[in-house]
Every structure is written in C-alpha cells, then in structure tokens.
Structure 1
Amino acid sequence: MKINIQTFFSRMCKYKSFYIWLLKVIGLLGLVVLCLWLALRPKSPSYSIVSISVEQPSNSNGNGTISYSLEIENSNKDSSIYYDDTVLSFLYGEQEDEVGQTTIGAFHQGASNTRDVSNTVNAKPRPFKPLMNAISNATTELKVALMTRYRYKTWGIKSQFHGLHLKGILPIESNGKLSRKKKKYPLHPNSNKLGRSKIRH
C-alpha cells in the first residue's frame, strides 16, 4: 500500500504542531501552579525581644531574675499557626552559660496576629554573678536562644511540623535594662547574622 509523501509530511506537521501546543499548555499550567504556590506559601513566624530587665535578688539567699517581653508575629493572612512548647534560654559569656530558662506552653495563633508573652525567669546563681559584674561596668551583652516547632493551618488543612531554632544578642545597659537603641530586637534563624560580639567579658 503506497502512502502519498505529501500527505505523510502533512500529517507529521499536524502531529508536531499538536505536541508543541500540548507542551505549551503544560508549561503554562506549571507556571500557574508555581505562582499560586509562591503566593500561598506561608511565611515563618517572627520573634522579637521587646524588653529585658536583669535584677539582683532582694536578699542574699534569693535568686536573681530576668524579666522579659517577647513578641511573636504571624504575618500570614490565610494561615494560622499551631505551636508546640517553646523553650526560651538566656545565655551569657563566650561559653554561653545558661543563666535562665523558661518554657512557653503550646498555643494557637490566628492569621495576621501578634502575641506578646511576658514573664520572669529565676536566674542560676553561678552564671548570674559574672553577668551582674559586667552590667555594673555597662559592658555586657545577654544572648537569647529559642527553640520550638510549629505547623500551619491553611484553608482547613494542617501542614507538617517545622522546626525553629533562633538566636539573638541583647545589649544590656548599666541599669540592667535592654538598650533602647532599637524598639525591639529580632531573633534570627542563622547565628551568622548576629555577628561577633564587640564586648569582651
């Protein structure tokens, strides 16, 4: 059975045009899906220390205290966030000795919501003493570390858990209060962003 060469090439061109059109449609759909994913992908919550107060014990047998105010912001308009327990630690010195630690219980945060958490932590006597000595010289920095995990809820669907480990450096003035050079001090997921301390303890 003989096939007309002109008819054969005509059919091949039609098939080729169809496959090119199909590839364009698939590419366009892929681009739309990518744009939707980028637009709807939730942003990580942000944490900032708003205030710190380091205070001596009222008597020789008491413990020093660290009072803090932490701001937790969920900037997502379409996603709420479910947090597990959050561990907040205050560290001092080159060895990052733990001065105090507290746990913020699990909670749910609505979309476009900011939550303020304030509390007082009892300090450990051994690392607290050199901290207070440095504060009296107005040359100290207190470090803070935060660890938690959370998941988003978007359009009624919960995501998998995401781990979070943040750090920050807090300049403390001679009165034991957080420096007011900034309104708040954000915590960062990458410790390299913190830079090296300019103060020697």
Structure 2
Amino acid sequence: MPAFKFKYQTFLSRMREGKGLYICLMQIVGLLGLIILFLWLSLRPKSPSYSILLISLEQPSNSNENGTIVYNLEIQNSNKDSSIYYDDTILRFLYGQDGDEDEVGETTMGSFHQGTSSTREQSGAVNARHRTFKPLIKAISNATAELKVALMTRYRYKTWGIKSKFHGLHLIGILPIDSDGKLSRKKKKYPLSHYSKKLGRSKIRH
C-alpha cells in the first residue's frame, strides 16, 4: 500500500507539472499571437485617398457643341513603407436626382506607380455630353447644381519588395457647383468616399 500511495502521489505530481507546462506553453503561444497581430495592424497599408481640388464647366461658343469639364484630382498615399501600383482609373461625372443620375462625361487615367508618403495631382478635361450638360448648365444658372463624381480603379501595394494582391476601389462624391460654373470654394478640397446611402444610387457600370 505505501508503495502504491507513493506511486499515486508521484503520478499526481507529474500531472500537475505537465498541466503547468501546458498552461505555460499556451500563454507563450497567446503572447506570440498578440505580438503578430499588433505587428500586422501596424504594418497594414492604408488605402489611397482621393480628393477633387478643382472643377470648371466650360460652355461651348456654339450651342450645338459639347461642353467641357476641367478637373484637378489629388491622389494621396500616406503609407511610409508601401508604394502603390495603380491600374487604369475610370472617372465619371454624373448629374440628376438620387437614383436617376445620367452620365455627363467620362475619362480614363492610365496606370501609374506612386511612391511612399507622396501626393500626386492629376488634371484633365472631359468632353461633356450635350444632352446632360445642358440641364446641368441651366441648374447652375439658378445656383442649385450638384455634380457627382464616381471613381473606379484597382491597385496593389509593394511593401519591402513584395507586391500584394489587387484591391478594388469604388468611390463617389458630391461636388457643389457655383453659378460661375466652378467648384464651390467653401472647402479647399472635396474628398471622395466609399458608397453610402447618403450619396444615392448612381448609375455606375462595373
């Protein structure tokens, strides 16, 4: 009996030691997991941001010709460790009531690479469609015009020499246009944001 009791106590002691070792290993694994999570969150690249700096609606001298939309777009990469490779970018201008907008004009910006912690300005002119440009100009004369802009592209990051998979981006914004046909100067710039119900359901083709 004494020998059995001794063996039983030894068994219990080893069980406790094994359990303590298991708990210790689990704590180490949990700590390593937290460290990896914090590192991933700190190194995870931020999406590029887009803002409209300028819009100017140019009316043609001949009423039968198309008008022109002149724009200036700011693209910002705030990542210190990741540059960004952009695919072609589609920029569309829309006018109309929520859920029933018509396309005024469209342009495509070619692919490009943007370095870390940098800002790029992209300017251009878009031929406006006569059918939708005319009611827009009429609304501007009454100082009631709001032009919508929709942007679609895809991009991937390059971090420490490694390129990520492609990420899709679909942004939209509302641009108040003053009676002179130019973007309101109430703000220095008008950031584009992800789709929301506030901005309405625009007719945007994917």
* Structure 2 length-normalised TM: 0.92
User: 1:191 offset after TM fit, Å?
Assistant: 2.5
Aligned to 2:204: none
Q: How does 1:1-201 map to 2 (within 5 A)?
A: 2=4, 4-94=7-97, 95-194=100-199
Contact 2:65/2:130 (CA < 8 Å) preserved in 1?
no
* % identical equivalent positions: 72
Contact 1:80/1:111 (CA < 8 Å) preserved in 2?
yes
List, as ranges, runs of 4+ consecutive aligned residues in structure 1 with deviation greater than 4 Å: none
Unmatched segments (≥5 aa) in structure 2? 202-206
User: 1:55 offset after TM fit, Å?
Assistant: 1.2
Distance in structure 1 (CA, Å) of the matches to 2:195 and 2:140: 27
Q: Secondary structure at the match of 1:17?
A: helix
User: 1:6 offset after TM fit, Å?
Assistant: 1.2
Instruction: Give the stretch that moved more between structures: 185-194 or 10-19.
Output: 185-194
**Superposed CA offset, 1:22-71 (max 9, x none):** 00000000000000000000000000000100111122343200000000
Contact 1:91/1:98 (CA < 8 Å) preserved in 2?
yes
Q: Which letter maps to 2:42?
A: A
CA RMSD across the alignment: 1.5
* Structure 1 length-normalised TM: 0.94
Q: Secondary structure at the match of 1:81?
A: strand
Distance in structure 2 (CA, Å) of the matches to 1:195 and 1:103: 23
Distance in structure 2 (CA, Å) of the matches to 1:192 and 1:37: 32
User: 1:195 offset after TM fit, Å?
Assistant: 7.2
